Structure 1
């Protein structure tokens, strides 16, 4: 029997964040139906990932709908917006239910190809969202690791690699990544966010990727 996320998370803070994420995603789609989720939470919720992710990251080509519709949708649900900032290319928001906060970033500088994908709510039910493909998420995570060298990004590359090994372009991109990748700056942090299964070392991640993409 498949356990819902709320039965798998071990930390109360993670559970509270996950439940608030559900509400924020639903509110966002009520304001902008074409928003595209990406990043670590997309992997966790749309592809049954095994690590907690606290931030919500989206792409959108309709910033006006979000700027006007999202605050109203959140207010109807009883949530506050301690931070809601717009730059030339991004929206940054912090949403609060009074005890828990969730960070949201919406990038409207680029248009991304997306596919309809089930998003698992904390209680085990699903809602349909638009999400990057596993191959596009994998490339995004490689680029994230190259930019900041966080162990969670390398872990995500390994997780997503099972979806994309037959893609020749992805194979070449991973091989190039492996030739040049350096040690992570935060390897001990991975054990705090992986809530199911093994917590591999960076060397184990690299060895597994080399075997899959040889």
Structure 2
């Protein structure tokens, strides 16, 4: 049952890599390796200096704050923010295009560790729903990040891009915060389906010219 969790992000990276033009693929390999290396360093730091185990509270807001900052906002913000700053030889557009391979390669290591080392037994939500939501979140963030260069002179479009990305960052955390306190399943199924459905729409857009 752990196979899905362990293979989802590596498979998504393989698909992402081979969807690129052959002459552009080499640019993404160092980014992928950087994500894996960053995850190893990040986990080494957590093992040495902090505990990754979290005992859920009976409060949705408290759980949301923990999941949002420790599993989404801080890892994504720090890792991608540092990469964005240090990769200054690349154009802004190129650095935006590197978001998905960097984030997916980081979470290919980080997310299985969080689940398999700190959560026992492993319920289906953690093995299937949570990884799918994080993958969906990265697909959405990648898509809207890459809209920003064209939206720089369009304030409304820029605000919309930032708002969509913030919502995407929040949904996995709020969904898990709801799930962990045993609220009715429909309360977490709806946001999980919405984020995964929207990501699927981005990956497989409806052909407007079809009948």
Normalised to the residue count of structure 1, the TM-score between the two structures is 0.29
**Higher normalized contact order (CA 8 Å, seq sep 6+, divided by chain length):** 2
More helix by percentage: 2
Normalised to the residue count of structure 2, the TM-score between the two structures is 0.30
More strand by percentage: 1
